[in-house]
Amino acid sequence: MREYETTLGGKPVTLAATFKASQEIAQKIADPLVIGREAHLEALLTRPGFPPYDPKFKFTVSNVPLLLHIGLKAAGSSLTLEQVQELVFDDGFISAKEKATDYLALIIAPRSEEVVESSGGEGSGE
């Protein structure tokens, strides 16, 4: 199982990327692939010279805590949606949106067996 470790309200939490979680996100928020596609298009089309792009999916103060709650439940957390909402509010919505985006990337991106953090050593270009 793929997991995303982060903090909410200053406390360490784990969100699990599972097929069941992706189905629940699709049912309650939007299809994770659609969310990813829209985020990609928005990033590409917000550069100078492109006309304004209005994505079909937008993160909101309602769907960010719900998305994180789904991931927390998949990892076995007993936090309620209301508790997650308060933790998101404490952290700030911008920070929580970034965490939701990272979690979604874990769901829709292929699993990499060769991801290694660069330590600035040989071959890193530094």
**17, containing H or E segment:** strand 11-17
- State the Cα torsion 85-87-90-94 to the nearest 10°: -70
Task: Name, in order, each residue with C-beta under 8 angstroms of 87's C-beta and a sequence gap of 6 or more.
Answer: 8, 9, 11, 79
Domain map (residue ranges) of the chain? 2-108
* Closest among 10, 39, 23, 42 to 100, alpha carbons compared: 39
* pLDDT computed for residue 120 by the predictor: 46
pLDDT, one tens digit per residue, over 94-123 is 999 999 999 999 999 877 653 434 444 444
Q: Note whether 40 and 89 are within 8 A (CB).
A: no
pLDDT, one tens digit per residue, over 10-42 is 999 999 999 999 999 999 999 999 999 998 888
